[in-house]
């Protein structure tokens, strides 16, 4: 039987009610709790590897969770499996963990290097019992492992060795009891006063990928990777809590001890997070796309209500853009969580069908961060949620593609030159802003660097997000914007509900564009080459310079020789166009393959040089320095002045924004 539910929020004190269940979903099928997950069929969106069933109780006095978890894992690895690794992400919130050790060195999300330790940020997850159906209690078979750095003090991954293997195609059922101690909000998760953002909170099995288990430790600059399946979660918590989660609300029932139990169900997802606060103001809306209606739920924190309509407008605009250009959004819900004052580190994060936004008590309309963060996190429903790349190893594929499209959506919704800042004294477009971040650190790391191996947190942001976006904008010059958009659409269709690699992405672009782009990808994706072309010099000289200058009525007949020298400063080879304008209004356009180190163009004309301009269409955004791209006989200082103003302004805002968008 198919069922679907609609979350109904009543005005006033009544918070979350599960009364309004509606029938039939074209997208979500009836849960099969505790049964083996079914592989993809005509009725499921994904190949379901995992089925989690979690019963959790939140203690709001101690900020802890006690829970039991049943995981049915279907062995589709094609070979017998006896050892299973699990993530215990909350154990990273300890001073000697790998994550905290890395934060101390390279910083993360707004926490700079050398930041101190505060006990309020302690977090942990303890598995007190692990049983496997038919094999008994295997708690004693659990061992912490550190596959990435051998840090014996890191307990963010454990593995268990079963007494016998699970055959290909068979399922195994794990049953665990675990206890969470939540940190005060840090690194996307935790509590702040009575606000809870509970992410990465339960033992999660690794992914069998590239013929091996992929189960990285939790790092300062890494996100996540998991298999698709179903998640059923019951949360018991005080009655006055307003709850949002990565699932459909199936029921809510009051208990005799002043608590209530809310039940959520989610399908074809690879994670589950939830939030609770008694202080949320709940807003409901809806949007209908090509896959049907989508319930919009917005949970606003006190003092932030002025941003609510901005979130919703950005969300609906993004839903519509993605539906039109990339593909359908197949889930029946999306929840936006607005973290309260002091908990912004929980903001700017994505989970399946739930995103966290971020704003402030005073957020002028000219600053489009609230819009950008909702656009960005919703975009992750596609680039992470459905196209589920390995965020540990290939951050550029989720963050970079998402950042590129963030600019496209924001430009369409808020104007190409005003989609990031829109003040009378300064404006900036979203992609212009991304380019500024890229040029601040253009060459420390290739896009393909594992996320925790960047030189530091700033480089992770500048390269994985902003350089990738800029690489894709520059790719438009080679294959056209429409072709690149068609390639992203094709990439989504091919790999939604799968775990594609970087090679899959690049091959899709080549397939759709019918071009061999290896030369570009080798430099832009796998390399750290700097792209920088400049007008080395340009001037006109009398052809017969040794003769006396012609004067009088024949003065205009003198022939001038004009020289324009273009220099490739960096190692990145890229074809460039040069437009040379003369003082009689004529011009010449040159196309240089850029392979040699420099080229000189020469013209013999009566007219003299007026200007020389590289990349006249302003398409080569990877060019690190645009100020050396032009030469004008009579310089127009105004444009430079405006850009300098913008740079100062953007630089000031950049670090603040990058601190919490994820």
Tokens 């959520």 -> residue: 264
Report the run of H or E that residue 100 belongs to, with start and end: helix 98-106
Selected range binding Zn ion among 271-279, 392-400, 444-452, 627-635, rule: CB under 5 A: 392-400
Which strand ranges, in their side-by-side order, compose the sheet holding 630-632? 587-592, 576-582, 609-614, 630-632
CB of 569 to Zn ion, least distance (A): 32
- Where would I find the H helices in 300-394? 308-325, 369-379
CB of 354 to Zn ion, least distance (A): 14
Selected range binding Zn ion among 396-404, 505-513, 523-531, 621-629, rule: CB under 5 A: 396-404
Selected range binding Zn ion among 172-180, 191-199, 391-399, 632-640, rule: CB under 5 A: 391-399
Closest by CA to 365, choosing from 424, 302, 287, is: 424
- Give the dihedral of Cα atoms 360, 361, 366, 369; nearest 10 deg: 10
User: Which of 223, 393, 399, 457: binder of Zn ion (CB under 5 A)?
Assistant: 399
CB of 379 to Zn ion, least distance (A): 8
Residues touching Zn ion: how many (CB under 5 A)?
A: 2
CB of 470 to Zn ion, least distance (A): 16
Closest by CA to 209, choosing from 260, 270, 164, 268, is: 270
- Taking the C-alpha atoms of residue 201 and residue 156, their distance in angstroms, rounded to an integer, is 11
Nearer CB in complex with Zn ion: 195/384: 384
CB of 358 to Zn ion, least distance (A): 12
394 is a site residue for Zn ion (CB under 5 A): no
CB of 200 to Zn ion, least distance (A): 15
Selected range binding Zn ion among 79-87, 141-149, 192-200, 393-401, rule: CB under 5 A: 393-401
Site for Zn ion in 643-662 (CB under 5 A): 662
Contact assessment for residue 658 and residue 403, using Cβ atoms and an 8 Å cutoff? no
Selected range binding Zn ion among 399-407, 418-426, 500-508, 560-568, rule: CB under 5 A: 399-407
184 is a site residue for Zn ion (CB under 5 A): no
With 0-12 CB in 10 A as exposed, 13-18 as middle and 19+ as buried, what is 450? middle
Task: Tell me the two tokens of residue 18.
Answer: 């599960």
Give the SS3 label for residue 547: coil
Q: Would you give the DSSP letter of residue 305?
A: G
- Taking the C-alpha atoms of residue 165 and residue 660, their distance in angstroms, rounded to an integer, is 43
CB of 391 to Zn ion, least distance (A): 9
CB of 266 to Zn ion, least distance (A): 21
Selected range binding Zn ion among 196-204, 209-217, 398-406, 477-485, rule: CB under 5 A: 398-406
Nearer CB in complex with Zn ion: 223/615: 223
Nearer CB in complex with Zn ion: 390/629: 390
CB of 224 to Zn ion, least distance (A): 12
Selected range binding Zn ion among 46-54, 72-80, 217-225, 394-402, rule: CB under 5 A: 394-402
With 0-12 CB in 10 A as exposed, 13-18 as middle and 19+ as buried, what is 552? exposed
Nearer CB in complex with Zn ion: 442/461: 461
Q: Would you give the DSSP letter of residue 384?
A: I
- Taking the C-alpha atoms of residue 111 and residue 89, their distance in angstroms, rounded to an integer, is 18
Closest by CA to 431, choosing from 468, 399, 450, 404, is: 404
Nearer CB in complex with Zn ion: 172/401: 401
338 is a site residue for Zn ion (CB under 5 A): no
Q: Would you give the DSSP letter of residue 320?
A: H
CB of 376 to Zn ion, least distance (A): 5
Site for Zn ion in 507-546 (CB under 5 A): none
> Mask: binding to Zn ion, 347-386, rule CB under 5 A, as x and -?
----------------------------------------
Q: Which residues pair with 468 in a beta bridge?
A: none
227 is a site residue for Zn ion (CB under 5 A): no
Nearer CB in complex with Zn ion: 399/534: 399
- Taking the C-alpha atoms of residue 410 and residue 312, their distance in angstroms, rounded to an integer, is 14
Task: Tell me the two tokens of residue 217.
Answer: 């430790």
Nearer CB in complex with Zn ion: 356/540: 356
Tokens 């990465």 -> residue: 200
Closest-approach residue to Zn ion (CB) = 399
- Taking the C-alpha atoms of residue 436 and residue 416, their distance in angstroms, rounded to an integer, is 16
Closest by CA to 354, choosing from 373, 375, 370, 377, is: 377
CB of 154 to Zn ion, least distance (A): 25
Name the site residues for Zn ion (rule: CB under 5 A): 399, 662
């Amino acid at each position: 039987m198919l069922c679907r539910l609609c979350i109904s929020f009543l005005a006033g004190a009544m918070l979350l009610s599960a009364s309004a269940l509606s029938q039939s979903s074209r997208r979500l099928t009836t849960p099969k709790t505790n049964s083996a997950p079914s592989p993809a069929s005509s009725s499921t969106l994904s190949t379901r590897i995992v089925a989690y069933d979690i019963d959790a109780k939140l203690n709001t006095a101690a900020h802890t969770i006690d829970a039991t978890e049943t995981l049915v894992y279907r062995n589709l690895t094609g070979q017998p499996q006896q050892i299973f690794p699990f993530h215990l992400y909350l154990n990273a919130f300890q001073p000697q963990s790998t994550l905290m050790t890395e934060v101390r060195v390279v910083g993360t999300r707004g926490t700079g290097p050398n930041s101190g330790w505060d006990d309020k940020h302690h977090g942990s997850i303890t598995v007190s019992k692990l049983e496997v159906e038919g094999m008994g209690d295997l708690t004693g078979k659990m061992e912490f492992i550190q596959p990435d750095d051998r840090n014996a003090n890191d307990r963010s991954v454990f593995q268990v060795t079963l007494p016998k293997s699970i055959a290909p195609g068979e399922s195994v059922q794990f049953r665990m009891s675990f206890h969470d101690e939540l940190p005060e909000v840090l690194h996307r998760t935790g509590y702040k006063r009575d606000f809870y953002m509970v992410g990465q909170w339960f033992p999660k099995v690794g992914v069998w990928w590239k013929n091996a288990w992929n189960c990285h430790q939790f790092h300062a600059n890494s996100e996540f990777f998991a298999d698709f399946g179903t998640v059923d979660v019951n949360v018991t918590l005080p009655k006055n809590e307003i709850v949002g989660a990565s699932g459909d609300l199936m029921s809510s029932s009051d208990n005799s001890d002043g608590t209530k139990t809310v039940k959520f169900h989610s399908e074809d997802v690879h994670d589950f997070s939830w939030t609770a606060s008694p202080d949320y103001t709940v807003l409901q809306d809806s949007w209908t796309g090509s896959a049907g209606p989508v319930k919009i739920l917005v949970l606003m924190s006190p003092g932030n209500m002025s941003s609510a309509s901005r979130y919703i407008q950005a969300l609906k605009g993004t839903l519509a853009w993605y539906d039109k250009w990339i593909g359908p959004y197949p889930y029946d819900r999306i929840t936006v969580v607005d973290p309260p004052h002091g908990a912004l580190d929980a903001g700017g994060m994505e989970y399946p069908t739930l995103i966290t936004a971020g704003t402030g008590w005073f957020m002028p309309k000219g600053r489009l961060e609230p819009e950008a963060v909702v656009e960005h996190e919703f975009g992750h429903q596609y680039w992470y949620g459905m196209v589920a790349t390995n965020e540990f190893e290939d951050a550029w594929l989720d963050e970079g593609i998402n950042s590129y499209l963030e600019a496209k959506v924001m430009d369409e919704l808020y104007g190409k030159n005003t989609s990031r800042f829109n003040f009378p004294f300064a404006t900036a477009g979203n992609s212009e802003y991304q380019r500024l971040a890229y040029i601040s650190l253009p060459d420390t790391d290739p896009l393909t660097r594992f996320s925790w191996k960047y030189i530091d947190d700033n480089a992770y942001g500048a390269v994985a997000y902003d350089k990738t976006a800029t690489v894709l904008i520059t790719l438009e010059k080679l294959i056209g914007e429409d072709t690149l958009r068609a390639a992203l659409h094709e990439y989504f269709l091919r790999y939604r509900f799968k775990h594609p690699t970087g090679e899959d992405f690049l091959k899709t672009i080549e397939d759709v564009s019918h071009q061999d782009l290896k030369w570009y990808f080798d430099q832009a994706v796998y390399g750290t080459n700097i792209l920088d072309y400049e007008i080395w010099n340009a001037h006109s000289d009398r052809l017969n310079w040794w003769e006396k200058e012609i004067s009088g009525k024949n003065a205009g007949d003198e022939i001038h020789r004009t020289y324009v020298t273009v220099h490739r400063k960096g190692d990145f080879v890229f074809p460039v166009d040069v437009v040379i304008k003369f003082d009689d209004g004529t011009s010449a356009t040159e196309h240089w393959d850029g392979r040699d180190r420099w080229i000189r163009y020469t013209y013999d004309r009566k007219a003299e040089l007026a200007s020389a301009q590289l990349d006249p269409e302003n398409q080569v955004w990877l060019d690190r320095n645009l100020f050396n791209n032009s030469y004008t006989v009579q310089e127009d200082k105004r444009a430079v002045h405006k850009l300098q103003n913008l740079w100062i302004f953007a630089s000031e805002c950049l670090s603040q924004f990058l601190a919490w968008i994820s």
